[in-house]
Amino acid sequence: MSQVTCDLTISLDGFAAGPNQTLAEPLGEGGELLHRWQFEEPESNAAAIAGILEAGAYIMGRNMFAGPGPWDAEWRGWWGEEPPYHAPVFVLTHHPCEPLEMQGGTTFNFVTDGIESALAQARKAAGTKDVAIAGGAEAVRQYLSAGLIDELRLHIAPIVLGAGERLLDGVANLKLEPTEVSGTRLVTHVRYRVNH
């Protein structure tokens, strides 16, 4: 049976983005340092990177797709004309928008009627494959709080941001069982089973 998974990189002090997020710095001040492991050590982290991209459908928050600030219906995402997902992506938003088809099989679908609706649509699109909650932190918190994530895969960067958007703020009664730990110089990967 397919699962709902979530891969997210956080700092040692639990931040998924640094302070002062803007369109110019969508991950906030210092936030780019979180993801060095994907670009500086891709071979050593190949299994974790492959795991992020193996889902049959993805869900992301509006800020992960378009950043903070006013909605721009002409925006096409941060990833260029061929985003890395190669699958349907469901974007949580309050602003209706027509689906956006990109190269490589990624289509961004904009969901205005809540996290459960987005998950139902993503499950249907994914078929037998997993559905991945791609981020950002606010979207992940909503799914964790609702008990809708089966496996949480945290990629912990050895940096302290000190401020920003913390992943687990406001999430209560979360019971996690670690099932696998690995790592490199720039990251520790921890897989957790989420016990509901």
Cα 164 to Cα 72: distance, rounded to the nearest angstrom: 24
The model's pTM? 0.93
Cα 96 to Cα 18: distance, rounded to the nearest angstrom: 28
Confidence of residue 1 (pLDDT cuts 50, 70, 90): low
> What digits encode the pLDDT tens for the residues 11-55?
999 999 999 988 788 899 999 999 999 999 999 999 999 999 999
Partner residues linked to 175 by β-bridges: 195
> Mean pLDDT, the chain, as a whole number?
93
Q: Write down the domain spans for the chain.
A: 4-69+78-195
pLDDT at 79: 86
Cα 43 to Cα 170: distance, rounded to the nearest angstrom: 35
32, 78 Cβ separation under 8 angstroms: no
Q: Among 119, 132, 164, which Cα is nearest to 16's?
A: 164
Q: Which fold has domain 4-69+78-195?
A: Dihydrofolate Reductase, subunit A (3.40.430)
Cα 90 to Cα 108: distance, rounded to the nearest angstrom: 6
Q: What are phi and psi of 90, to 5 degrees?
A: -110, 115
> What digits encode the pLDDT tens for the residues 107-146?
999 999 999 999 999 999 999 999 999 999 999 999 999 9
Cα 180 to Cα 86: distance, rounded to the nearest angstrom: 27
